[in-house]
């Protein structure tokens, strides 16, 4: 910055105009890019929707085939075909809390030092923290872990594009 010359409001106004013009030019370029992306999406969207529908249907059929033949997935419980892991896997345990108020009271009684951690502010049991307790402690609190049993698994084992496809298929399944 040159401090030897005196800066006037006119100089600052001229610099502000130049900067505003440069920002406007940048905004126009970014807007043009966004418009092009939107146009490309509009063109591709019908094909994507059709492909999602076909993939959702084939996943539904594959899931039905796996469900109809659980004996094929005893050992090993999963197999990989064409980059897809198929079969059964253990589902995630789900903490069952039939009476949150009673659970909070029992947490305060049995775990007073941990009450702040195990109980969230809105006075409901902190399921994430409670899941760390053993079955005996959960029983003392009137809680239990629910085992969802075996669940069918169909999962791509390769690329990032597969993550996008999986998300699209999950959305399509949710819509059905």
pLDDT digits (tens, 9 = 90+) for 25-44: 888 898 999 999 999 999 99
pLDDT higher than threshold 90 for residue 52: yes
pLDDT higher than threshold 90 for residue 55: yes
pLDDT higher than threshold 60 for residue 3: no
pLDDT higher than threshold 60 for residue 117: yes
Q: Give the integer Cα–Cα distance in Å for 112 and 128.
A: 17
pLDDT of residue 176: 63
* Domain presence at residue 113: yes
* Domain presence at residue 133: yes
Look at residue 87 and give its three-state secondary structure: strand
pLDDT higher than threshold 60 for residue 62: yes
Of 176 and 73, which is predicted with more confidence? 73
Provide the 10 A C-beta neighbour count for residue 138. Answer: 18
Q: Which domain holds residue 110?
A: 94-146
* Domain presence at residue 3: no
* Domain presence at residue 11: no
Does this model's pTM top 0.85? My answer is: no
* Domain presence at residue 36: no
Residue 112: partners with Cβ closer than 8 Å, 6 or more residues away: none
* Domain presence at residue 140: yes
Q: CB–CB of 172/52 below 8 Å?
A: yes
C-alpha dist (Å) from residue 31 to 14, 21, 39, 43? 26, 15, 12, 18
* Domain presence at residue 55: no
Counted domains in the chain: 1
Mean pLDDT of all residues belonging to the chain: 87
Per-residue pLDDT, averaged over 69-97, amounts to 93
pLDDT band, residue 67 (cuts 50/70/90): very high
pLDDT higher than threshold 60 for residue 70: yes
The interaxial angle of helices 9-68 and 160-175, nearest 10 deg, is 70
Per-residue pLDDT, averaged over 55-72, amounts to 96
Task: Select from 66, 104, 103 the least CA-distant residue to 84.
Answer: 66
* Domain presence at residue 7: no
pLDDT higher than threshold 90 for residue 122: no
Q: State which of 15-24, 110-119, 153-162 shows the largest mean pLDDT.
A: 110-119
Comparing 3-17, 120-134, 161-175, the range with the smallest average pLDDT is: 161-175
pLDDT higher than threshold 90 for residue 145: no
């Amino acid at each position: 910055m040159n401090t030897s010359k005196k800066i006037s409001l006119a100089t600052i106004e001229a610099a502000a105009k130049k900067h505003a013009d440069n920002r406007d030019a940048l905004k126009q370029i970014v807007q043009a890019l966004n418009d092009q992306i939107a146009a490309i999406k509009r063109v591709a969207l019908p094909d994507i929707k059709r492909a999602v529908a076909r993939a959702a249907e084939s996943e539904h059929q594959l899931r039905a085939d796996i469900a109809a033949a659980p004996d094929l997935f005893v050992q090993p419980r999963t197999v990989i075909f064409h980059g897809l892991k198929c079969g059964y896997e253990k589902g995630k345990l789900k903490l069952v809390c039939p009476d949150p108020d009673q659970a909070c009271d029992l947490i305060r009684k049995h775990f007073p030092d941990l009450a702040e951690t195990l109980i969230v502010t809105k006075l409901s049991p902190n399921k994430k923290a409670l899941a760390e307790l053993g079955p005996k402690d959960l029983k003392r609190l009137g809680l239990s872990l629910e085992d969802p049993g075996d669940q069918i698994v169909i999962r791509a084992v390769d690329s990032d594009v597969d993550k996008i496809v999986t998300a699209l298929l999950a959305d399509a399944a949710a819509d059905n």
